[in-house]
Chain A
Amino acid sequence: MSTLTLNGVRKSFGALDVLQSIDLELEDGEFLVLLGPSGCGKSTLLNIIAGLETPTSGDIFIGDKRVNDVHPKNRNIAMVFQSYALYPTMPVERNIGFGLEMRGVEPDTRKRAVDGAARMLQVDHLLDRKPGQLSGGQRQRVAMGRAIVREPELFLFDEPLSNLDAKLRAEMRTEIKRLHNRLGTTVVYVTHDQIEAMTLGTRIAVMKGGVIQQLADPMTTYEKPANMFVAGFIGSPSMNFVHGTLAREGDTTTLKTDGKDSTTIRLPRVAANLENLAGRKVVLGVRPESFAANASEPDLTGTIDVVEPTGPDTLVVLALGGQTITARLGPKLTVATGETLGLSIHPDSISLFDPDSGNRIG
């Protein structure tokens, strides 16, 4: 059964279209991540699902009930906000139990529920404190406690980790994943952090300009991005794009790069449709980790521009006939700036895009 269904949801503020016909269907227990840069409409979409904003047109179903005109409190949802939105005047216990209090739950039952949620999130020793006396991580846990205590049908998270430092963010990310595994409640999670999206989501909806660019599981989104925007947005360092023209040389397909110092890249994959694309201008997309140093039979050769050792691996920026690519190679690499480096490309890990539309063509 699907928990959440969106049919042609649009939202405009005056002449500005923030969301353009969003269609989504979420199965029970799914973890959907809405991923995109600022202003792509992901938070607006979340607010529409929550009932905090009304769509200009389109239908929203939670379970099998159309909820367009249902008040947020009656949608059986819980939301965790970026700023945590804890009530500053109330102690933690009342903050967590406020939703139950508003629904007229008996104080005894309420206390048991609050204690249970607080224990699960390890904030049971903080119940008497006010939000102002808590650290960022503790506030985050209390905010999650407030959401889970109501046992909603749907969890909504609005960039819940973006106010935390890097270490705490990683910890809380694991915590959220653990919580989802344990509770199995359907989640819609908004973020602009692609690591969060990749690690947490069972599916990712990458958004731009109020349109879902790709809706797929994380690995598909990563390995087979639907267009250049998705390819560039997910992954760090982002996918390399090389502009050029495809050609056939015997059994192999090559890419002749654009620009005045044109060079040739041998494409390792012999895909069925690649032959039909010969002579066509394309953008080749290769992830940095899909390269390997290969001196004997390189697919491409370039001049080393910058070497960045990160510890677990080395990032090498290569000048390739007027364009640059970044390769993620092994640690302790003994290469120097100015040297020539041969690289091979991992088979099955290349993407080809149309240079005009940016859409994936192979």
Chain B
Amino acid sequence: MITTSRRARLGWNIATYAVLITLTIFCIFPLLWTFLTSLKYEADIVTQTIQYIPKRITFDNYVAIWTQSGFPTLVFNSFVVTATTVVLCLITGTLAAYSFSRFHYRGRGALMLGYLVIRMFPAVLMIIPLFILMRGVGLLDSRFGLALAYTSFLLPLFVWMLKGFFDAAPKELESAARIDGCTRLGAMIRIVLPLARNGLVATSVFVAIAAWNEFLFALMLTTSQGSRTWPVGLQLMVGEFQLPWGVLAAGGIISIIPVMILFAIVQRTMVHGITAGAVKG
């Protein structure tokens, strides 16, 4: 009996690991393949037989994309747009989430639902009106305009996530702070925000990654090199008669580095933030 149950458990363990390893390979392989491609000479990329491990290694692709294209500008633009989006979300979203969490007023439920409904529309549906709107106010082909467009669909996510973190902060703390001499806003900044810090970091990282990787809005709302972001720039490098695989791969790898660094720095805070309140802490 014991042997049978042990065998069964072993079988289950093997099956579990097999599934997990397959999934890991499935996720990591494209990244690894891109990385390996970025290290290959052009002649070694398009070959008769697939060459998994490069025989010769070169960093020419990285040098090429950084020096011979507008890639640094694209990355810089992405930085500016992402940072602006995060700041816009932080300022407006924090106040909105706090108001949803703490105050009861007419239309509160409808407003919150409205925020959620915006998320339900496909981006394609929003993009034409947004294009016309941006053109009308002269924000087409500007980094701020793009950040504003990102804020329009990332703010709901930010507000809803942060509202959860604010809900978890006990109201009595604010009452105590108000008696101790804080205003409502003062109590929020001094007492509630430090408590919701993990949530704030986690939510901001989500928004930052979404803004950093966004493609469709950037394609539609930017037309010049001055405001274009890296996903669009990289896509435009695909020419009609040539496909510079090595350079594209190098661009891809450079672009995911900021995301990886961001994750590495905030990973612990973020996991803590996401699971906060799930169990009694």
Contact = CB atoms under 8 A, between A and B. Distances in A.
Interface stretch (A19-27, A74-82, A245-253, A289-297): A74-82
Given A52-B175, A81-B172, A83-B172, A102 B191 contact: no
Contacts of A50: 175, 179
Contacts of B182: 73, 102
A72 B178 contact: yes
Interface stretch (A85-93, A222-230, A309-317): A85-93
Nearest to B191: A87
B179 to A, nearest CB: 5
Contact of B194 (A77, A86, A89): A89
A99 interface: yes
A99 to B, nearest CB: 4
Interface residues on A, range: 20 to 34
Contacts of A52: 175, 178-179
Interface residues of B, number: 16
Contacts of B122: none
B180 A77 contact: no
A129 to B, nearest CB: 17
Nearest to A81: B172
Contacts of A99: 179-181
A94 B71 CA distance: 50
Contacts of A85: 170, 172-173, 175-176
Contacts of A146: 176, 180
Contact of B181 (A79, A86, A103): A103
A166 B73 CA distance: 68
A276 to B, nearest CB: 52
A52 B173 CA distance: 12
A157 interface: no
A98 interface: yes
15 contacts: A47-B175, A50-B179, A71-B178, A72-B178, A72-B179, A73-B181, A73-B182, A78-B179, A85-B170, A85-B173, A87-B173, A87-B176, A88-B173, A89-B194, A98-B177
